[in-house]
Amino acid sequence: MGLVDMFVAGLCFNLTCPLEPYIKNYCFKNTFTNISRGIGVDHVNVTCPVIDINTLKRKQELNYLRDELKGLNIKVTTINNGILSGHSTSLNGSTIGTGIAFEILNILQKKFKFAYSLTIPKNNVFGSRNDGVFDLLRKKKADIGVAFFPILQIKTFTNFVKYSPSLDTGEWVVLLRRPEESATGSGLLAPFTKWVWILIILSLLVVGPIIYLIIYLRHRICKDDTKVYSLSNCMWFVYGALLKQGTTLSPMTDSSRLLFSTWWIFITILTAFYTANLTAFLTLSKFTLPIEEPEDIGKNHYKWITNRGNAIEDQIYHETRIDVKDYMVENEKLKNILGPQAYSESNDQADKKILKDYITRGSVMFIREKPIIDYVMYDDYKEKMKENIKENKRCTFVITKFPVATFARGFVYNKQFRYSQVFDSAIQQLVESGIIKFKLKEFLPDTEICPLDLGNKERQLRNSDLSMTYIIVGGGLIVSSIVFLIEILIEKCKKRKSSLYHNKPPLYLKRPATKILDFQNNNIDFVPQKKSFVTPPPPYNTLFNSQFVKGGYKIKNINGRDYWVNKTHSPSNIIPYRTPSALLFQFTN
């Protein structure tokens, strides 16, 4: 048995060392095993728990510190942060701490029997401005900062202060005014996303010309007598199929039939999906917000505000400092995710005033710790109940489901504070027992306050759901009226041109006289023309592509009359070319 083992064995058996109060019910690790082997004992009945010598020394140090802490006056500082921490003036004029953080401190005070004095910083911040809590700790004007401070592993802070074990993990969420309608849209446009609508419109513009091009190429290549539909007919077919109006086009070729059937199948599936999604949206849809992730705030340039003194300001302040080396990726920095803060000069106001002045009236987003937001919304809901406001109008605010940022939170000490270990062990026990979590939700209801989906049982159509219908009807009337006016102008222009053309005297009016028939005297004479003469209509063979023009026929004048003479067959056929009765038709204007 070695010298060390003999020394420890002596301590254990004699129990006269200074560790006596701390080792009475413990045995040292591996000690009795070595002793039993050295003295030749086969077995030693060890019923005491095994403890390491380092743990024993630590327990001894903690007990010494606890004894020193009794009756000691500790200098404490804090910030105003809603229900988490704050300060107020008592009836005797002294400043006292308030909030959950000081409830924890009071538990520690009762346990360790110490006293504390409260020092208020000039600026209600931790480290984003001068004369805050950080400066008081760095200058040793305070021993401990009692609040839910964010544990930021930044050398600017960790070189001068140290943190307690994490009280909890704080989530910074967004509170905003509840939108009147869901961000997914309303009415006719709701079933599909923006890109789906864009692709549908693009297909309407592209499919018509494609059908026309394929039909035209097929006709040119095959050179048959199939009918080629015009581009306007193809475009109208595509549009009519979308509206389920049918078509008068009857394709004769296999390629055109395949094109038509493909478009019909596409439209059938599309309209089925649209109808189903529209029904589901109007009956079962969930309410959604205009932001789905923190990046949407900066991307869409939404205005936001936060109160002075929380982790958001501290983190952004650190990210914007030039003298501090960056340790984060650029696109992960809060200043780039959220964008610049609006109304930063007014963010030292109370939560309720910010809620009233900026959120309700200005549609600004409020970024805050979730426990504080829950209490603010709950108080607002209770006030509206007292004012007998209708139930469907009490939940005017809503909270995002996602956090903008998450930070561990705890107390903070200056580097020279000797009793941090005593506080840390007690705080760890409070956290593990669930007391901190209970305190954060002690006065909140079990149900969620003003959830995103209010869970209305009935879903009636509103004007907002039919707004797109009104827009389509109104837009169609306006466009048709404009086209109607354009048609009237075009028709007037045509009439004006035709009237100018008809006002010119024709060439045949320049002749002094025209040979016409005098039916009373039954003869032909030259008489002055009373009305303008219009030539009789042309022969039928010139109008309907007569076969006489193809060859084998020739015109011959026989006895003053014109005939078609056919010599291709025997005997010769003579067909009158123009009958004498044609002279009887005199057309006048």
Q: Tell which wins on pLDDT, 225 or 517.
A: 225
Mean of the pLDDT values across residues 23-52? 49
The pLDDT confidence band at residue 33, using thresholds 50, 70 and 90, is very low
pTM exceeds 0.85 for this model: no
Distance, CA of 149 to CA of 498 (rounded, Å):
89
What are the tens digits of pLDDT across the range 275-308?
888 887 777 666 778 888 888 888 888 888 888 7
- 158 pLDDT higher than 80: yes
Strand segments (E) across 42-98: 50-51, 73-77, 86-89, 95-98
pLDDT of residue 149: 92
pLDDT of residue 188: 74
In this structure, are residues 183 and 442 in contact, taking their beta carbons and an 8 Å threshold? no
Mean of the pLDDT values across residues 420-439? 92
Measured over the CA atoms of residue 304, residue 310, residue 311 and residue 314, the dihedral's sign is positive
- The DSSP output letter for 358 is I
pLDDT of residue 571: 59
State the average pLDDT for the chain.
76
Q: Name every residue whose Cβ is closer than 8 Å to that of residue 545 and which is 6 or more positions away in sequence.
A: none
What are the tens digits of pLDDT across the range 98-120?
999 999 999 999 999 999 999 99
- 13 pLDDT higher than 50: no
Mean of the pLDDT values across residues 153-171? 88
pLDDT of residue 22: 47
148 membership: H or E segment, kind and range: strand 144-150
Render 208-275 in DSSP notation, one character per residue: HHHHHHHHHHHHHHH--S-----HHHHHHHHHHHHTT---S----SHHHHHHHHHHHHHHHHHHHHHH
Distance, CA of 562 to CA of 172 (rounded, Å):
105
- 545 pLDDT higher than 90: no
* Domain locations in the chain as residue ranges: 3-54, 194-263, 514-588
- 24 pLDDT higher than 70: no
CA 404, 406, 411, 415: dihedral to nearest 10 degrees? Answer: -110
Helices 100-112 and 420-433 pack at an angle, to 10 degrees, of: 120
Render 270-330 in DSSP notation, one character per residue: HHHHHHHHHHHHHHHPPP--S-SSTHHHHHTT--EEE-TTSHHHHHHHHHH-SSS---S-G
Range in 45-54, 424-433, 554-563 the model is least confident about: 45-54
pLDDT of residue 7: 47
In this structure, are residues 234 and 209 in contact, taking their beta carbons and an 8 Å threshold? yes
Strand partners, 119: 77
Percent of the chain with pLDDT over 70: 70
Range in 214-218, 251-255, 529-533 the model is least confident about: 529-533
Q: Tell which wins on pLDDT, 433 or 258.
A: 433
Q: Tell which wins on pLDDT, 291 or 41.
A: 291
Percent of the chain with pLDDT over 90: 18
